[in-house]
Amino acid sequence: MKILVTVKEVGTVEDEFDIEGTTIADRSLNVDLNEWDDYAIEEAVQLQEAGIADEVVAVTIGPEDCEQTIRQALAKGADRAIRVWDDAIADSDLLDVGAKTEILGAVVEDEAPDLVLTGVQADDDSFGATGVSVADAVGYEWAAVVNHLEREFDDAVSLRRELEGGVEELTTVELPAVLTIQTGINEPRYASLRGIRQAQRKELAVADLAELGIDEDTVEPTLELTEMYEPESESDVTVWEGGADDTASELAALLREKGVAQ
């Protein structure tokens, strides 16, 4: 069985940050592997270690800068990676779900995996919709927010979907399928030094839109990011100032007033 894992380098915002137009200033941004994708990679690698998958391929949409992050997937055990980038993508502030669907859908069609694992959402833009959209576009089955996968694959796979309020749904899904993976499904490994060294030698192919047979117009976003600002605080929070001893005793006084620990 072949597994394709979609991974994304996400921006993480510093405690103090500046907004420039409709983006966060570069100096206030760090980058990281999307948390949910880390669990998706781990699940794929575990299926490979269990002898269920023979190949794990990671795919990302991103500029050359993000190769460091993508190599984390290789260092953790993916066999090879594909990075898709194009000037037409670089021009847009916000790659919407439709554009991502075109791109990732083309890669799924090329690679024809039995299983595609994506994160439930990306930590930065949090659309949470790409996996299901890609599944529908390529005619695969799907399941969103999967937090347990049985290690038995036939024509179908049994899994659990995590609903709200501590309720899980038990579902079977026919293959091929796209599953969006929820945190907590496994314990993602750290990349070992050996893994990191090996990752340097693994294939990281780069493709542009033309190579995927995608017309530039089809990835033109239909959503336009028009504003970005810090949310207005709704509460009138009382902030205690001073050293830890001072603030702790303010809080202690409040707790005593509320009848706590008496």
Partner 1 sequence: MTDVLVVAEHRRGEVRDASYEVITAGRELAAETGGELHVAVISGTVDGFAEKCNRDGVDAVHTVDHGEEFNHGVYSQTVTKLFDELAPQYVLVPNSVNGLDYAPAVANRLGLPIVTDTIDLESDGDALTATREMYGGKVETTVALEGEAVVTIRGAEWPAAEGTGDATVESFDPEIDESALGSNVTGFEEVAGGDVDISDAEVLVSVGRGIDEEENLEIIRDLADALGATVSSSRPIVDNGWLPKNRQVGQSGKVVTPDVYIAIGISGAVQHVAGMKGSDTIVAINTDPNAPIMDIADYAIHDDLFDVVPALTAEFQ
Ligand X SMILES: Cc1cc2nc3c(=O)[nH]c(=O)nc-3n(C[C@H](O)[C@H](O)[C@H](O)COP(=O)(O)OP(=O)(O)OC[C@H]3O[C@@H](n4cnc5c(N)ncnc54)[C@H](O)[C@@H]3O)c2cc1C
Binding to ligand X in span 122-151, by CB under 6 A: 145
Instruction: Please tell me what DSSP assigns to residue 104.
Output: H
Q: Which letter, b or e, does each residue of 228-250 get, where b requires 16 or more Cβ atoms within 10 Å of its Cβ?
A: eeeeeeeeeeeeeeeeeeeeeee
CB of 125 to ligand X, least distance (A): 13
**Site track 150-189 with partner 1 (rule: CB under 8 A), x = hit:** ------x-x-xxxxxxxxxxxxxxx--x-----xx--x--
Q: Which two tokens stand for residue 74?
A: 């290789």
17 binds partner 1 (CB under 8 A): yes
The least CB distance from residue 182 to partner 1, in Å, is 8
CB nearer to partner 1: pick between 63 and 184: 184
φ and ψ at 64, to 5 degrees?
-55, -35
The interface region with partner 1, picked from 48-56, 59-67, 82-90, 126-134 by CB under 8 A, is: 126-134
CA distance 259 to 262: 6
Interface pick for partner 1 out of 98, 195, 198, 216 (rule CB under 8 A): 98
What is the CB-side half-sphere exposure of residue 5 using CA atoms within 13 A?
35
Backbone angles phi, psi at 97, to 5 degrees: -60, -40
Distance from the Cα of residue 161 to its chain's centroid = 17
| Nearest distance from C-beta of residue 163 to partner 1, angstroms | 5
* Token pair for 138: 């390529």
For residue 173, the minimal CB distance to partner 1 (Å) is 5
Coil, strand or helix at 31? strand
What mask, x for binding ligand X by CB under 6 A, covers residues 63 to 102? ----------------------------------------
Does position 214 interact with partner 1 (CB under 8 A)? The reply is no
Which residues, listed in sequence order, are joined to residue 2 by a DSSP beta bridge? 55
Residue 132 contacts partner 1 per CB under 8 A: yes
Q: How far is CA 66 from the centre of its chain?
A: 14
Of 53, 88, 120, 146, which lies in the binding site for ligand X, with binding defined by CB under 6 A? 120
| Whether 71 contacts 204, CB under 8 Å | yes
Nearest to ligand X of 121, 186 (CB atom) = 121
Query: What is the closest distance, in whole angstroms, from the C-beta atom of residue 261 to partner 1 in the complex?
Result: 5
Contact call for residue 240 and partner 1 (CB under 8 A): yes
Q: 125, 206, 215, 219: which one contacts partner 1 (CB under 8 A)?
A: 125
Name the amino acid, one letter, at 62: G
Binders of ligand X: how many residues, by CB under 6 A?
Answer: 3
Q: Is the dihedral of CA 94, 97, 101, 107 positive or negative?
A: positive
C-beta of 181 vs 199, nearer to partner 1: 181
Closest CA to 40 of 194, 146, 173, 161: 146
- From the list ligand X, partner 1, none, partner contacted by residue 193 (C-beta under 5 to 8 A by kind): none
Binding site residues, ligand X, CB under 6 A: 120-121, 145
